[in-house]
């Protein structure tokens, strides 16, 4: 342990703590990162192994059990009412002796508290009681964790080579003994698809959007100089979450906003009776784009699902629709830093390796894939604490 490195981290924690109290963007995430750095600087190997291979795996297993017995919901519903071990045992159906051992670990890991002879919820455990997080926990534990657990054996078998990008012989197929691609497997194994959808909503909850103030300068780069008919086309935009929020934030925007996705997705959007601030259009992004000359074409976490060959094809289908010097391609994606990779970025890269046999890309890799499609990178916009960046590109 280096005393100077610990002192440096403590100094960073102090200044970052002041920034957090001043509500500076990114300060919360920076505090967490510096806290991790402090633990890494202080832990000896035996403590690291105990935490990584005993405490944390046990924690995730107990949390998955808690989903089954609705433990977090019972604590949340109790509020300020005392829930003694006996009372919680009765509500959950977990034997008292076992419950006390399991919850003791939850207390040690700061997930719930125990004082005055009773269990109490925390802000964190109350958040985990929400349905989308309950489903997310099931997805993480039942679907994702086996893929990660299989890494050592899988990569030993491949002689420690990456699986073919976009291929079907990846860690996920090996772990779940299937030949199906990830999304087809989800559809075939309910309720996994519902759990994955909840995971995606939970993953994006509370994160800054690319069109938020301080992220991408929408007024300067999109609205100023707007002279065409269409302001924004959201390519592969699902059910329109992004464009709906964009329209709400920029209520006085000029031009039309168009949501594009596959026919079944758009049919579900159109079937609702809700008023929409955007038009919905069925489109497969592996075919040429039908809307030409728009100010901006956005793709949110689309290309990271695909290998380079497919990514180039998706971008090439945009190129004929772009107006030189006017149209912008906006990629809301992770840009992996090679020198200082963030935990959110590296963890998502591992998710993509495990389940899709693809990768998150570095700045150089993004520049390369854009160039192959006939585009050039203009600038990468970042927001403090955000894992995803906004890559702005245009015709080369």
Q: Give catalytic status of residue 250 as yes or no.
A: no
Average pLDDT over residues 50-79: 98
3-state secondary structure of 267: helix
- Cis ω before 191 (30° cut-off from 0): yes
The pLDDT of residue 89 is above 90: yes
Residue 139 lies in a domain: no
Q: What is the pLDDT of residue 203?
A: 84
Distance, in Å, from the CA atom of 211 to the CA atom of 246, rounded to the nearest integer, reads 6
Average pLDDT over the chain reads 95
The pLDDT of residue 371 is above 90: yes
Band (139; pLDDT cuts 50, 70, 90) = very high
* CATH code of the domain covering residue 291: 3.40.50.150
Judgement on whether residues 293 and 251 belong to the same structural domain of the protein = yes
3 or 288: whose pLDDT is higher? 288
The pLDDT of residue 272 is above 90: no
Residues 329-355: tens digit of each pLDDT? 999 999 999 999 999 999 999 999 999
Judgement on whether residues 200 and 294 belong to the same structural domain of the protein = no
> Which residues face 281 on adjacent strands?
260
Q: What is the pLDDT of residue 77?
A: 97
Band (25; pLDDT cuts 50, 70, 90) = very high
Average pLDDT over residues 140-154: 96
**177 exposure class (CB count in 10 Å sphere: 0-12, 13-18, 19+):** exposed
Band (4; pLDDT cuts 50, 70, 90) = confident
Residue 371 lies in a domain: yes
Q: What is the pLDDT of residue 352?
A: 93
The pLDDT of residue 147 is above 60: yes
201 or 294: whose pLDDT is higher? 294
Judgement on whether residues 72 and 160 belong to the same structural domain of the protein = no
Residue 52 lies in a domain: yes
Among candidate residues 74, 135, 283, 304, the one labeled active-site is 304
Phi-psi region of 306 (alpha: psi -120 to 50; beta: other; left: phi over 0): beta
Distance, in Å, from the CA atom of 126 to the CA atom of 73, rounded to the nearest integer, reads 7
Q: What is the pLDDT of residue 1?
A: 58
The pLDDT of residue 46 is above 80: yes
The pLDDT of residue 204 is above 90: no
Q: Structural domain tally of the chain? A: 3
Q: What is the pLDDT of residue 32?
A: 96
Identify whether the C-beta of residue 323 lies closer than 8 Å to the C-beta of residue 338.
no
Band (164; pLDDT cuts 50, 70, 90) = confident
The pLDDT of residue 172 is above 70: yes
Q: What is the pLDDT of residue 167?
A: 60
Average pLDDT over residues 170-185: 93
- Of 38, 136, 133, 33, the C-alpha closest to 343 is 33
Q: Are strands 113-115 and 118-120 parallel, antiparallel or unpaired?
A: antiparallel
Residues 221-248: tens digit of each pLDDT? 999 999 999 999 999 999 898 999 999 9
Residue at which a domain ends, from 204, 234, 250: 204
Judgement on whether residues 98 and 148 belong to the same structural domain of the protein = no
Judgement on whether residues 347 and 231 belong to the same structural domain of the protein = yes
Band (169; pLDDT cuts 50, 70, 90) = confident
The pLDDT of residue 166 is above 60: no
Judgement on whether residues 175 and 280 belong to the same structural domain of the protein = no
Residues 178-196: tens digit of each pLDDT? 999 998 999 899 999 899 9
Residue 321 lies in a domain: yes
Neighbouring residues of 341: CB distance < 8 A, sequence distance ≥ 6: none
Average pLDDT over residues 238-263: 94
Judgement on whether residues 154 and 230 belong to the same structural domain of the protein = no
Judgement on whether residues 228 and 188 belong to the same structural domain of the protein = no
Judgement on whether residues 258 and 385 belong to the same structural domain of the protein = yes
Average pLDDT over residues 98-103: 98
The pLDDT of residue 168 is above 80: no
Judgement on whether residues 239 and 383 belong to the same structural domain of the protein = yes
Residues 282-304: tens digit of each pLDDT? 999 999 999 999 999 999 999 99
Distance, in Å, from the CA atom of 390 to the CA atom of 182, rounded to the nearest integer, reads 26
Quote the strand ranges of 206-323, DSSP E. 230-235, 256-261, 279-282, 296-300
Average pLDDT over residues 250-266: 94
The pLDDT of residue 208 is above 80: yes
The pLDDT of residue 104 is above 70: yes
Residue at which a domain ends, from 128, 158, 186: 128
Q: Which run of H or E residues covers position 96?
A: helix 96-108
* Full domain range(s) for residue 157: 144-204
Residue 211 lies in a domain: no
Q: What is the pLDDT of residue 373?
A: 98
Phi, psi dihedrals of residue 232, rounded to the nearest 5°: -145, 135
Average pLDDT over residues 4-17: 94
Residues 298-328: tens digit of each pLDDT? 999 999 999 999 999 999 999 999 999 999 9
Judgement on whether residues 238 and 104 belong to the same structural domain of the protein = no
Distance, in Å, from the CA atom of 196 to the CA atom of 198, rounded to the nearest integer, reads 5
Residue 213 lies in a domain: no
């Amino acid at each position: 342990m280096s005393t100077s490195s610990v002192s440096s981290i403590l100094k960073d924690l102090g200044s970052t703590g002041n920034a957090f109290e001043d509500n500076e963007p990114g300060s919360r995430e920076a505090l967490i990162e510096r806290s991790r750095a402090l633990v890494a600087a202080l832990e000896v190997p035996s403590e690291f192994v105990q935490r990584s291979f005993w405490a944390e795996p046990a924690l995730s297993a107990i949390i998955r059990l808690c989903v089954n017995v609705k433990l977090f919901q019972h604590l949340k519903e109790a509020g300020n009412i005392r829930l003694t071990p006996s009372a919680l045992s009765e509500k959950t159906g977990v034997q008292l002796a076992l419950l006390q051992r399991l919850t003791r670990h939850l207390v040690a890991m700061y997930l719930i508290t125990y004082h005055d002879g009773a269990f109490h919820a925390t802000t964190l455990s109350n958040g985990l009681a929400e349905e989308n997080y309950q489903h997310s926990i099931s997805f993480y534990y039942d679907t994702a964790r086996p893929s990660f657990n299989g890494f050592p054996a899988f990569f030993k078998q491949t002689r420690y080579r990456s699986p073919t990008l976009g291929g079907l012989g990846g860690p996920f197929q090996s772990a779940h003994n299937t030949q199906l691609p990830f999304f087809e497997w989800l559809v075939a194994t309910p309720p996994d698809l519902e759990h994955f959808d909840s995971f995606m909503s939970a993953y994006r909850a509370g994160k800054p959007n690319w069109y938020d103030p301080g992220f991408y300068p929408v007024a300067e780069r999109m609205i100023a100089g707007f002279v065409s008919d269409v302001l924004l086309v959201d390519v592969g935009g699902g059910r329109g979450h992004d464009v709906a929020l964009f329209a709400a934030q920029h209520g006085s925007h000029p031009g039309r906003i168009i949501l594009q996705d596959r026919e079944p997705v758009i049919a579900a959007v159109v079937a609702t009776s809700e008023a929409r601030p955007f038009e919905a259009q069925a489109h497969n992004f592996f075919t040429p784009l039908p809307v030409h000359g728009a100010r901006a074409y956005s793709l949110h976490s689309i290309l990271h699902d695909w290998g380079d060959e497919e990514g180039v094809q998706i971008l090439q289908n945009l190129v004929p629709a772009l107006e030189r010097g006017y149209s912008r391609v906006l990629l809301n994606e992770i840009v992996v830093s090679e020198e200082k990779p963030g935990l959110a970025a590296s963890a998502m890269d591992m998710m993509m390796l495990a389940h899709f046999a693809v990768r998150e890309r570095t700045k150089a890799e993004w520049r390369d894939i854009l160039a192959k499609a006939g585009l050039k990178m203009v600038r990468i916009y970042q927001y403090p604490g955000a894992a995803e960046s906004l890559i702005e590109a245009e015709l080369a």
